Amino acid sequence: MNTKLLECIITVSQERSQSRAAAKLNISQSALSQQIKKVESDIGTALFYKEKNELFLTDAGKIYINGAQGALNIYKNALRDIQKVRTRKNKEITFVYTKGLLKDLAGVLTEFRKMHPDIYINTLYGTAASAKDYLSNGIADFAITATSDLSNTLLGYIPLRTTELQLALPYGHPMINRFRKEGVCFECLAEDIFILPPNETLSRQLSSRIFQQNRFIPRSIREVSEIESAIELMISGNGICFVPKFHEARDRYIAFSLVPGANYHIVIAYMKSKIFSPALKDLLMILMKTYDSYTDESVRR
């Protein structure tokens, strides 16, 4: 929308003189005259007529002015609403996190609130896949999530820690002693039910990679959405599963590292085009400090 052009026509109608309107608009009279002629040429009729050295609106001019004033009002209201959104957005930080990857959320929020009491933190829960959607669509400022690959065209990563997915067996499983001595043999698990997360999760992708690397196809799969549910099923003798190395309930099962290792990274993810505000930088520093204090046993997925 050429708001300057609309303002020129409106000002001429108010001043009833091109010279006075040009002075008020701080442009030359010839430039203003060209603007008027351009509009009249575009609509195919005159906007003004001259009487006693003053300019008055034609019928077409009156219609044009009414439309121009309405359009300008809509435009100004839109700018005002956008400014309100920008102001509100500057007072809010939204981040998404994968369940279990941030243990002391309350502590993080409390420390941040001491530094920035006027800024609201909005948290969302999502998988690694949904976190990317939140970021790319501008819903979230950053995400605490997991990835197996630190290279991405659109996303930048701040690594928090590197860990691994391990095979978990319930106490009493017949392969425990053998695996302790010789390492994991997937062919020995041909009769077991594998309890796996949904396809869109990073854990499922890593599980599929583990099977491919070991040239193994599970005969039976049971899918559950939560790692806690998978562990409960495993402990009760309803299958085996993969668990993060840092899961805190490790006294309830036996876990084995895999060769090759199923490593992945816990990261702060953000759009590479993202501009970090001072408050956002402070929040990221708090999160990094929090992760520095974690041990493999203290972080829960």
- Domain membership of residue 61 (yes or no) is yes
**Whether residue 115 is found in the same domain as residue 97:** yes
- Domain membership of residue 63 (yes or no) is yes
**Whether residue 10 is found in the same domain as residue 132:** no
Q: What is the pLDDT of residues 15-41, one digit of tens each?
A: 989 899 889 888 888 888 888 888 888
pLDDT of residue 101: 81
Domain total of the chain: 3
pLDDT at 172 over 70: yes
- Domain membership of residue 82 (yes or no) is yes
- Domain membership of residue 215 (yes or no) is yes
What are the C-alpha distances in Å from 197 to residues 145, 146, 149, 216, 219? 16, 15, 19, 18, 16
What band does 284 get if pLDDT is binned at 50, 70 and 90? very high
Q: What is the pLDDT of residues 107-146, one digit of tens each?
A: 999 999 999 998 989 998 888 888 888 998 888 999 999 9
**Whether residue 110 is found in the same domain as residue 203:** no
Average model confidence (pLDDT) across the chain: 86
As a whole-number percent, the residues of the chain with pLDDT over 70 amount to 92
**Whether residue 212 is found in the same domain as residue 256:** yes
Continuous segment of H or E residues that includes residue 245? none
pLDDT of residue 179: 96
pLDDT of residue 293: 60
Q: For residues 273 and 251, what is the distance between their CA atoms, to the nearest angstrom?
A: 44
- Domain membership of residue 223 (yes or no) is yes
183: tokens are: 């390492």
**Whether residue 56 is found in the same domain as residue 186:** no
Query: Residues 8, 19: contact at Cβ < 8 Å?
Result: no
Range of the domain at 13: 3-89
- Domain membership of residue 297 (yes or no) is no
Question: Residue 208 is part of a domain; what is its CATH number?
Answer: 3.40.190.290
The whole-model pTM stands at: 0.62
**Whether residue 173 is found in the same domain as residue 125:** no
More confident site: 261 or 256:
256
Q: What is the pLDDT of residues 56-90, one digit of tens each?
A: 989 988 888 888 888 888 877 777 766 665 555 55
Mean pLDDT along residues 231-235: 93
Question: Residue 11 is part of a domain; what is its CATH number?
Answer: 1.10.10.10
Domain boundary among 36, 54, 89: 89
- Domain membership of residue 301 (yes or no) is no
What band does 249 get if pLDDT is binned at 50, 70 and 90? low
